[in-house]
Structure 1
Amino acid sequence: MTPTDWHITGDLTDFLTRAGEFLRSRPALHTVHLTVTEALRGRGLRVYGEGDPVFGLLERDGEVRGAFFRTPPGRLMLTPLGGGEAGGLAAQLAARGDELPGVMAELDTAAEFAEEWGRRTDLDCRLYARQRLYRLGELTPQRPSPPGRPRVATADDREQLMRWYVEFTEAIGESGPSQDPGEWADARIAYGGITFWETPDGTPVSMAGITPKVAGQVGVAPVYTPAEFRGRGYAGAVTAEVSGMARAANAEEVLLFTDLANSTSNALYQRLGYRPVEDFAGYDFRAGSSVR
């Protein structure tokens, strides 16, 4: 494979015209790419940051084999690739002089890209996260439910949503939110995309969100419970609630990502009926010279 097999563009329409069918062919594995490009198409190219997004597709003999996007200042997001394909992309981007903060992809794809990127740039490619993608099988809500009830967030909850969105990004180890907190809250409120679990006195103690349906699938994200309310079943109750909402909206697939380092959340989601699909890894690129 030659590096030029990768077609790189800043034109979202061109990218979706050429790669859209490929992305929809494996919607679960490509869920992030489908969801983010739909948000860019509907809400504008700067929804995730001030930089210009970049898109790419690997095409050979008229067939698309892989794709990526990057919404600066975010990491490069790659679909699963075959041997040598991720390294070829790293070589092409390095030759272009691109500067990347990191990469997120399926385990082997991410490792291959990071190794080649480190070799070509002399940067230290450090593993920062391992995630597991789950899909919902038979939903099995926990019994008994904790005291309280679910409630869809409204405009009156905007400040709470903004605050919890920032806390959530900090809790998962990100340097900051990928979107403006106010814009994120407004977008979620507009389609009823966040549900709280409230105690009997009306105090919100946990939240779970669902993404708009794209290619027949709905993602459950984010799920967040402040530290002082954890260990009481609130996250399981609200996650079951939004999972049922997604099913009621006729989603063909209900998906979520978890941090593999968090054994509690992985066990919880499996009790609710989620089953593993694929593991992913993320690397950060910093001054240095090794992959860890």
Structure 2
Amino acid sequence: MDRDWRITGDLNQFLTHAGDFLRSRPALHTVTLTVTDSLRRRGLHIHGKGDPVFGVLERDGAVRAAFFRTPPGRLMLTPLTAEEATALAAQLADLGDELPGVMGERDTASAFAEAWARRTGSVLELHARQRLYRLGELTIPEPVPPGRPRVATTKDREQLMHWHAEFAEAVGEGGTRQDSGEWADARIAYGGVTFWETPDGTPVSMAGVTAKVAGQIRVAPVYTPADLRDRGYAGAVTAEVSRVARAAGAEEVLLFTDLANPTSNALYQRIGYRPVEDFAGYDFRSDPGPGPGPGPR
């Protein structure tokens, strides 16, 4: 295939070309929409010192697909055919890109990861299997645990930072996570985290939401410390932020779950979330073997 990808470090140029395409399917493109929105509002380096890279695939004057990467994070792809994924892997490898991994719709991520391995000799490791859900009819899980929801404010900054770091470690993102202070400040600015707190005012669980963009809001992250789980806190706070998101006019309320966690998947379905698409994430590492892998290094 010829190389139709337009690759740039200019966020405004990327959004000019890809914005309408991304907004045409806001659920499938939720991560790209929310991350680029936060980069636009808070600066290009909120996820790390490396310069972000963006790409747009155009065919016959129309945008077909897009990608972005905010180092040190993985490449994030919108859905591609296997042929398109293979061509992109070849183009990025020939440019000398050193990717830590890829994340995207399941078949897309798999096709790209396999093509990248063939091209670079990298060893693939399946990092995560996730399912994207969309809220249907909201159902409050019962019994509701004692306590109440409360939106986190500036006085909660240290708590938010601590739980954000714990959550990142728990899901295996400790080495690539956004700075916890930056994350807390950004969420506090728009009321983007809600606690469930006990009657004495002690926070026991949190649920975050992204800012609304293209009519969608995504619930992320949901976190309860290990010693406080199985008491209904996560379900209660997730239901609350879902209710508020819908009341704020979100046309779609979304969330991702880890498919390796049947408890959370069952919980969100009881609340009213319905499956949309499966996603996968792969990590790339150098082949420890004695000889070079196939393709250019």
Q: Same fold (TM over 0.5)?
A: yes
Letter in 2 for 1:213: K
Alignment correspondent of 2:252: 253
AA aligned opposite 2:79: P
Higher mean displacement: 176-185 or 28-37:
176-185
Alignment partner, residue 239 of structure 1 = 238
Aligned length: 289
Aligned-pair identity (%): 76
| Partner residue, 1:91 | 90
Q: 1:75–1:102: 8 Å Cα contact kept in structure 2?
A: yes
Q: Is the 8 A contact 1:136 1:275 kept in 2?
A: yes
CA distance in 2, matches of 1:151, 1:263: 28
Q: What amino acid does structure 1 have at the position aligned with 2:144?
A: S
**Aligned pairs (5 A) from 1:85-234:** 85-176=84-175, 178-234=177-233
The answer to whether the 8 A contact 1:132-1:277 is kept is yes
Cα deviation for residue 179 of structure 1 reads 1.7
Deviation at 1:184, TM superposition (A): 1.1
The corresponding residue for 2:78 is 79
Q: CA deviation at 1:178?
A: 2.3
Matches within 5 A, 1:6-85: 6-85=5-84
Partners of 2:127 and 2:209 lie apart in 1 by: 25
CA distance in 1, matches of 2:197, 2:281: 34
- Distance, in Å, in 2 between the alignment partners of 1:107 and 1:210 is 24
Tell me which amino acid in the other structure corresponds to 1:155: T
Whether contact under 8 Å (1:66, 1:81) holds in the other structure is: yes
Return the letter of the residue paired with 1:73: P
Q: Alpha-carbon deviation of 1:83?
A: 2.8
Q: CA deviation at 1:176?
A: 3.4
What secondary structure, in the 3-state scheme, does the structure 1 residue paired with 2:238 have? helix
Aligned match of 2:290:
none
CA deviation digits over 1:150-189, x for unaligned, max 9?
Answer: 1111111111000000000011111336222112111111
Shift of the 207–235 alpha-carbon distance from structure 1 to 2, 3 Å rule, reads same
In structure 2, C-alpha distance between the alignment counterparts of 1:189 and 1:176, rounded to whole Å: 23
Q: Distance in 1 between matches of 2:226 and 2:76?
A: 30
Quick one: distance in 2 between partners of 1:202 and 1:177? 32
Structure 2, unaligned runs of 5 or more: 288-292
CA distance in 2, matches of 1:173, 1:10: 27
The alignment partner of 2:172 has SS state of coil
* Displacement of 1:6: 1.0
SS at match of 1:81: coil
SS in 1 for 2:211: coil
Q: Is the 8 A contact 1:146 1:232 kept in 2?
A: yes
Give the Cα–Cα distance (whole angstroms) in 1 for the partners of residues 127 and 12 of structure 2: 32
Aligned to 2:276: 277
Query: TM-score, structure 2 length as denominator?
Result: 0.95
Aligned-partner residue type, residue 81 of structure 1: L
| Alignment partners' CA distance in 2, 1:87 and 1:110 | 11
1:131-151 deviation digits (Å, cap 9, x = unpaired): 000000000011220111111
Q: Which moved more, 1:44-53 or 1:175-184?
A: 175-184
Which secondary structure state, in structure 2, belongs to the residue aligned with residue 202 of structure 1?
coil
- Following superposition, the deviation at residue 41 of structure 1 comes to 0.8
- Unaligned runs of 5+ residues in structure 1 are none
Work out the CA distance in 1 between the residues paired with 2:28 and 2:144.
Answer: 32
Q: Residues of 1 paired with 2:176 and 2:266: CA distance?
A: 27
RMSD across aligned C-alpha pairs, in angstroms?
1.1
Task: Check 1:196–1:177 CA distance in 2 against 1; reply closer, same or farther (3 A cut).
Answer: farther
AA of the residue aligned to 2:117: G
Q: Residue 177 and residue 194 in structure 1: after superposition, are their counterparts in 2 closer, same or farther (change >3 A)? A: farther
Matched, 1:263 2:262: yes
Deviation, structure 1 residue 124: 0.1
